[in-house]
């Protein structure tokens, strides 16, 4: 068994020959080739992302409302249930509704993009069985199209913040960096999980449940300070915990992100990307057979 | 060299969907082989040179599409070496990447993006693409509003307009009307002349012979034949359908087979037979063409005939086994290899007497050569009906190809009886002369003032 790469590159010889040379050497060569093919297809990534956004809102009654609906409804439910009934404390100095809304803005993007990306290969089975292109573009376009919903939600958050007396500050320049870490996390998960979904479709339900469990471990609707000290440290190791914490620092406190936890998350996620991507690329040649 | 397949096999696991998640993932990543593999292709080897036109034929399920999908990079070979050199544009399904909610214009760019072609390049080709598809009025309409013909036109237009180095065409010429099909053929010839490597899969053997020089014949995933396209097509027809007797259908009349009606004895035919070793000959010869004599209206042995004159062909069919329902026919090809006409007893709704092993029968054909002046070759076929292939497929016991040439001549000093490939039955009538009524003047011609 060896590799066939994308053969849609002009002048590229695609061969299935058994390579000589070290495993690591070929792993790097293959990955470089895969990434170049991905780069050559960047316009497809933009087009598919746009297509997904457009087709999601075209011919719908609420249109943009759908991207607001989920965080707004959740915010109302959590505000009533946790803040008003259970008296759950918010993070220091932040009114509970915008605290939850801010967390949900990040979390909804994470949860829905992961699930969408996971199902994306099955959803695009027709395309996969008829045309050749780097398959990772499909989950990636799912992830990037989710950014649109994130942006809408973020604008609403800014408006709510003004209402509660929080104003945009210079530290906002860190938000794209925080977002990149989150995208990297979703990408790692999507590359692995989308392959699983290709072979067994019901895994989506399992993953949805696990993501919900993860939401409780990453406190989204209560403050980290409600947890014991030892658990708080664990919170900053968990990537979504680090991301949410950094976002809170920037948006509400005008602080720097907690760099060491963000940096740790980045290193771990970047390292994880290599095997996930290789795993995906290895499986992708069989997608057309299985789907 | 554009494409090389070296001992390529492709297996599918027919039991995927069972087993543990872990084993399924291992299979999808190629770590383990299926314990019950189905060989869609086994040990296929061929090379296609740059600019070559290569055909692939075979029955349904022979593995043609699998070969194409491996070439296009949609799926991967299970073993063997595959080398593909150059930009591949595949017409495996027209408009495969189209999204119904997007407009024609957006889908053109989308299709190009799938192939990794830059927006700039498509900008320069956009006019040609829409011109060819004749869709300027609809280019900004979502493609879900398109008719299937419009959809196919746009898909074809994109695929051929991007200057591919390798063009893969799979059985797509059955879409659209005859005008679109002719346009597609013309475009494909043009692309071929530009030096594009061309891979063509079809059941339309005439189109295949027209477009390709070399062909691969596949049979149940095996490489049955690789070489000259005409040879491949002949072998394909040999493969099609298995030998199977069929009861005579309704509405078939039996040929009157009293010897006196034939008017030609066995000895006369045997002694004046045309040489039957002229071209290639195929078939198991359960029913054999023993001899064939061709005479004109005057009873002279000849292969020259004037346009619209009759030729008489006498065949001796010999049965080497019991043949309950023998069939006989003739194929006529023009000098470009196009099948001009083919018919036999089934087309005339006739049935020949059933033969026991060792028996012979004489069959006569009376053929009016209403074809354009020129040289023709012909094939003679002795066959039996095939149950598997349907009414239009026979099991060929003996097929002799490349007989002739038959020369059809015309007198250049006279008006030809027709122009074109062949004469079609046509009647022209006219009524009596009459005087039309002209509304503007309110007067018939006759009432107008004379000049």
Specify the pLDDT at position B28: 64
- Of A57-71, A86-100, B168-182, least confident by mean pLDDT is B168-182
Residues of chain A by 3-state class (helix, strand, coil), percent to 5: 75, 0, 25
Specify the pLDDT at position B329: 93
Q: CB atoms < 10 A from the CB of A269, how many? A: 21
DSSP type of residue A72: H
Query: How far apart are the CA of A107 and the nearest CA of chain B, in angstroms?
Result: 28
The DSSP bridge partners found for residue B306 are B409
Ramachandran category for residue A230: left, alpha or beta (phi over 0 → left; psi -120 to 50 → alpha): alpha
Asked whether B386 and B243 are in contact (CB, 8 A), the reply is yes
Place of tokens 């500050």: A169
Q: How confident is the model at residue B245 (pLDDT cuts 50, 70, 90)?
A: very low
Residue closest to A191 by CA, chosen among A241, A137, A125: A137
Residue B232 to residue B119: CA distance in whole angstroms: 41
Q: What's the angle, vertex CA A139, arms to CA A135 and CA A141, rounded to 5?
A: 100
Task: Show Cβ contacts of residue A182 under 8 Å, excluding neighbours closer than 6 positions.
Answer: A106, A109, A110, A239, A240, A243
Is the pLDDT score of A187 beyond 90? Answer: yes
Asked whether B71 and B84 are in contact (CB, 8 A), the reply is yes
Query: Which residues 163-182 in chain B show a CB within 8 A of chain A?
Result: 165
Specify the pLDDT at position B167: 87
- Give phi and psi for A14, each to the nearest 5: -105, 125
B16 touches chain A (CB under 8 A): yes
Asked whether B205 and B217 are in contact (CB, 8 A), the reply is no
DSSP string, B402-415: EEEEEEEE--TTS-
Instruction: Output the average pLDDT for chain B.
Output: 80
Q: How confident is the model at residue A4 (pLDDT cuts 50, 70, 90)?
A: very low
Instruction: Decide if A14 and B87 are in contact by the 8 Å CB cutoff.
Output: no
DSSP type of residue B298: T
Is the pLDDT score of B255 beyond 70? Answer: no
Instruction: Decide if B86 and A10 are in contact by the 8 Å CB cutoff.
Output: yes
Q: How confident is the model at residue B381 (pLDDT cuts 50, 70, 90)?
A: very high
Buried b / exposed e over B347-361, threshold 16 CB at 10 Å, is eeebbbebbeeeeeb
Is the pLDDT score of B443 beyond 80? Answer: no
Instruction: Decide if A55 and B101 are in contact by the 8 Å CB cutoff.
Output: yes
Query: In chain B, what percentage of residues exceed pLDDT 70?
Result: 81
Asked whether B168 and B130 are in contact (CB, 8 A), the reply is no
Q: Helix crossing, A137-164 with A65-78: angle to 10°? A: 60
B21 touches chain A (CB under 8 A): yes
Residue B39 to residue B12: CA distance in whole angstroms: 7
**What average pLDDT does this structure show over A207-222?**
86
**What average pLDDT does this structure show over B281-295?**
89
Peptide bond just before B405 cis, omega within 30 deg: yes
Residue closest to A199 by CA, chosen among A111, A134, A133, A280: A280
CA–CA distances in Å: residue A17 to residues A3, A5, B208: 8, 12, 32
Chain A residues closer than 8 Å to B29 by CB: 195, 279, 282-283, 286
Which secondary structure element, helix H or strand E, spans residue B295, and what is its range? strand B287-296
- Of A207-211, A220-224, B131-135, B417-421, least confident by mean pLDDT is A220-224
Count of helix runs (H) and strand runs (E) in chain B: 10, 20
Is the pLDDT score of B201 beyond 50? Answer: yes
Specify the pLDDT at position A181: 93
Instruction: Decide if A288 and B74 are in contact by the 8 Å CB cutoff.
Output: yes
Q: How confident is the model at residue B18 (pLDDT cuts 50, 70, 90)?
A: low
Q: How confident is the model at residue B278 (pLDDT cuts 50, 70, 90)?
A: low
Residue B116 has its nearest CB partner, among A9, A130, A196, at: A9
Specify the pLDDT at position B257: 43
B8 or B405: which leads in pLDDT: B8
Chain A residues closer than 8 Å to B25 by CB: 195-196, 199, 283
**What average pLDDT does this structure show over A168-194?**
92
Residue A131 has its nearest CB partner, among B77, B102, B114, at: B114
B101 touches chain A (CB under 8 A): yes
Specify the pLDDT at position B165: 86
Q: How confident is the model at residue B446 (pLDDT cuts 50, 70, 90)?
A: low
Residue B76 has its nearest CB partner, among A41, A127, A285, at: A285
Instruction: Decide if B29 and A199 are in contact by the 8 Å CB cutoff.
Output: no
Residue B99 has its nearest CB partner, among A55, A282, A289, at: A55
Is residue B8 exposed (0-12), middle (13-18) or buried (19+ Cβ within 10 Å)?
buried
Mutate to test the interface with B, among A19, A45, A132 (most CBs of B within 10 A): A132
Residue B312 to residue B299: CA distance in whole angstroms: 8
Instruction: Decide if B96 and A128 are in contact by the 8 Å CB cutoff.
Output: no
Instruction: Decide if B113 and A195 are in contact by the 8 Å CB cutoff.
Output: no
B303 touches chain A (CB under 8 A): no
Is residue B324 exposed (0-12), middle (13-18) or buried (19+ Cβ within 10 Å)?
middle
Specify the pLDDT at position B32: 62
Instruction: Decide if B28 and A195 are in contact by the 8 Å CB cutoff.
Output: yes
B81 touches chain A (CB under 8 A): yes
Residue of A nearest to B66 (CA): A289
Residue of B nearest to A19 (CA): B81
Q: Helix crossing, A96-123 with A175-199: angle to 10°? A: 40
Instruction: Decide if B92 and A282 are in contact by the 8 Å CB cutoff.
Output: no
Please tell me the total number of residues recorded for chain B in this structure.
451
- Give phi and psi for B370, each to the nearest 5: -85, 60
Asked whether B82 and B5 are in contact (CB, 8 A), the reply is yes
- Of A100-114, A238-252, B106-120, least confident by mean pLDDT is B106-120
Which secondary structure element, helix H or strand E, spans residue B39, and what is its range? strand B37-48
Specify the pLDDT at position B233: 77
Residue B173 to residue B183: CA distance in whole angstroms: 10
Specify the pLDDT at position B251: 44
**What average pLDDT does this structure show over A72-86?**
79
A244 or A229: which leads in pLDDT: A244
Residue B144 to residue B103: CA distance in whole angstroms: 8
Query: Which residues 115-134 in chain B show a CB within 8 A of chain A?
Result: 115-116, 118-119
Is the pLDDT score of B177 beyond 90? Answer: no
Give the count of alpha carbons within 13 A of A262, CB side only: 21
Specify the pLDDT at position B224: 87
Q: What is the pLDDT of residues B100-122, one digit of tens each?
A: 878 889 888 888 888 778 888 88
Is the pLDDT score of A6 beyond 70? Answer: no
Place of tokens 């919900």: A212
Chain A residues closer than 8 Å to B27 by CB: 199, 286
Instruction: Output the average pLDDT for chain A.
Output: 82
B295 touches chain A (CB under 8 A): no
Specify the pLDDT at position A183: 95
Q: How confident is the model at residue A20 (pLDDT cuts 50, 70, 90)?
A: low
Q: CB atoms < 10 A from the CB of A198, how many? A: 24
Specify the pLDDT at position A16: 44
Query: In chain B, what percentage of residues exceed pLDDT 90?
Result: 12
pTM of the model: 0.68
Lookup: tokens for B447: 């009432």
Q: Dump strand ranges (E) for B62-134.
A: 79-85, 88-91
Q: How confident is the model at residue B221 (pLDDT cuts 50, 70, 90)?
A: confident
Q: Helix crossing, A137-164 with A42-57: angle to 10°? A: 60
């Amino acid at each position: 068994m060896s590799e066939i790469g994308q053969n849609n590159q002009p002048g590229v010889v695609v061969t299935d020959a058994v390579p000589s040379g070290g495993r690591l050497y070929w792993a790097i060569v293959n990955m470089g080739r895969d990434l170049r093919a991905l780069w050559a297809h960047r316009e497809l990534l933009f087009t598919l992302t746009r297509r997904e956004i457009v087709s999601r809102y075209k011919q719908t009654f609420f249109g943009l409302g759908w991207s607001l609906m989920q965080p707004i409804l959740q915010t109302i439910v959590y505000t009533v249930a946790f803040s008003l009934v259970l008296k759950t404390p918010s993070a220091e100095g932040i009114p509970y509704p915008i605290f939850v809304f801010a967390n949900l803005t990040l979390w909804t993007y994470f949860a829905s993009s992961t699930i969408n990306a996971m199902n994306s290969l099955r959803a695009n089975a027709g395309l996969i069985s008829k045309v050749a292109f780097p398959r990772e573009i499909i989950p990636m376009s799912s992830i990037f199209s989710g950014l649109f919903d994130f942006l809408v939600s973020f604008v609403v958050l800014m408006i709510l913040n003004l209402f509660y007396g929080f104003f945009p500050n210079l530290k906002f320049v860190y938000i794209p960096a925080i977002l990149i870490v989150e995208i990297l996390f979703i990408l790692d998960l999507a590359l692995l999980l989308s392959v699983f979904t290709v072979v067994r479709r019901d895994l989506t339900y399992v993953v949805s449940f696990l993501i919900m469990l993860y939401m409780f471990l990453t406190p989204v609707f209560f403050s980290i300070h409600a947890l014991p000290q030892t658990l708080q440290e664990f919170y900053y190791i968990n990537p979504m915990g680090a991301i949410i914490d950094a976002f809170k620092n920037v948006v509400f406190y005008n602080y720097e992100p907690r760099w060491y936890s963000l940096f740790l998350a980045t290193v771990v996620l970047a390292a994880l990307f290599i095997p996930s991507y290789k795993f995906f690329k290895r499986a992708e040649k069989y997608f057309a057979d299985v789907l | 060299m554009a494409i090389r397949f070296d001992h390529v096999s492709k297996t599918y696991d027919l039991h995927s969907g069972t087993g543990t998640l872990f084993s399924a993932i291992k299979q999808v990543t190629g770590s383990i082989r299926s314990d019950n593999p189905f060989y869609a292709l086994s040990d296929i080897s061929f090379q296609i040179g740059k600019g070559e036109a290569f055909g692939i034929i075979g029955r349904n399920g022979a593995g043609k599409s699998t070969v194409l999908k491996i070439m296009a990079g949609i799926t991967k070979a299970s073993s063997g070496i595959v080398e593909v050199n150059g930009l591949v544009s595949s017409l495996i399904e027209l408009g495969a990447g189209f999204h119904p909610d997007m407009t024609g214009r957006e889908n053109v760019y989308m299709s190009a993006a799938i192939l990794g072609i830059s927006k700039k390049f498509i900008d320069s080709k956009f006019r040609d693409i829409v011109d060819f598809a004749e869709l300027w009025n609809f280019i900004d309409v979502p493609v879900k509003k398109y008719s299937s013909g419009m959809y196919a036109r746009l898909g074809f237009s994109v695929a051929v307009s991007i200057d591919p180095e390798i063009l893969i065409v799979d059985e797509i010429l059955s879409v659209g009307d005859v005008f679109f099909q002719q346009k597609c053929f013309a475009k494909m010839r043009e692309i071929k002349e530009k030096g594009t490597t061309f891979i063509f899969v079809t059941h339309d053997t005439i189109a295949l012979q027209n477009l390709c020089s070399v062909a691969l014949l596949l049979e149940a995933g095996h490489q049955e034949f690789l070489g000259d396209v005409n040879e491949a097509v002949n072998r394909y027809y040999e493969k099609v359908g298995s030998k199977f007797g069929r009861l005579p259908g309704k509405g078939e009349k039996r040929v009157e087979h009293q010897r006196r009606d034939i008017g030609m004895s066995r000895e006369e035919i045997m002694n004046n037979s045309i040489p039957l070793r002229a071209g290639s000959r195929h078939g198991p010869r359960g029913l054999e063409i023993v001899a064939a004599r061709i005479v004109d209206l005057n009873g002279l042995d000849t292969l020259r005939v004037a346009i619209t004159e009759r030729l008489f062909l006498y065949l001796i069919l010999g049965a080497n086994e019991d043949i309950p329902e023998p069939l006989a026919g003739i194929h006529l090809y023009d000098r470009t290899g196009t099948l001009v006409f083919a018919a036999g007893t089934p087309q005339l709704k006739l049935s020949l007497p059933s033969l026991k092993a060792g028996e012979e029968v004489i069959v006569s054909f009376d053929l009016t050569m209403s074809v354009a002046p020129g040289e023709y070759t012909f094939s003679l076929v002795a066959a039996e009906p095939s149950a598997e292939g349907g009414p239009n497929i026979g099991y060929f016991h003996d097929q002799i190809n490349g007989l002739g040439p038959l020369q059809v001549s015309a007198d250049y000093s006279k008006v030809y009886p027709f122009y074109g490939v062949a004469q079609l039955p046509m009647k022209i009538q006219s009524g009596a002369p009459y005087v039309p009524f002209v509304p503007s003047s309110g007067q018939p011609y006759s009432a107008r003032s004379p000049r």
